[in-house]
Amino acid sequence: LIVRSVPSSKRWQEISARRMELIQTLIKETLLNNVDYIFCLDVDSKFHSRWGTESLGGLVAVIHPGYYQDDRNKFPYERRPSSRAYLAPGEGDFYYCGGAFGGLLMEVHQLAKTCRKNFEDDAKENIEAAWQEESHLNR
């Protein structure tokens, strides 16, 4: 188990937004060729049951507890077409939380790399997705 502290910021959104960069860097600098799986969890995650080997998949995400019973039209997807996190009405299957995901190391690395690039490309155009990296994760 490796616990990484996240640098503080004036806005929680900035901490959230840097998550994919931190994961990508951790994989490249520390974990590559040393582990098979990585799971990224918010520090305030609470487990109500056993988490076992059934979670060892290529990419694993947790359905957001605030939306798991809602219809897709209530999910807080990014709805502005100008954002790279955009999901059109009728797209998407579930709404995944940004605070619990993981899987095979290289799959998570690719996910983090893609989310980070899309987030940074949006930022260059002064776009911040509705729920920062969580919006990009859902894309």
Name the packing angle between helices 19-26 and 105-124 (round to 10°).
140
pLDDT > 70 fraction of the chain, expressed in percent and rounded: 99
Torsion sign, CA atoms 124, 128, 133, 137: negative
Q: Residue 2 has what pLDDT?
A: 66
Confidence of residue 10 (pLDDT cuts 50, 70, 90): confident
Tell me how crowded residue 23 is: count the other CB atoms within 10 A of its CB.
24
Residue 19: alpha-carbon gap to chain centroid: 8
The pTM assigned to this predicted structure is 0.87
Mean pLDDT value of segment 79-104: 94
Higher-pLDDT residue of 113 and 11 is 113
86, 136 Cβ separation under 8 angstroms: no
Among residues 107, 120, 125, 134, which one is catalytic?
A: 134
134 catalytically annotated: yes
Q: Residue 106 has what pLDDT?
A: 96
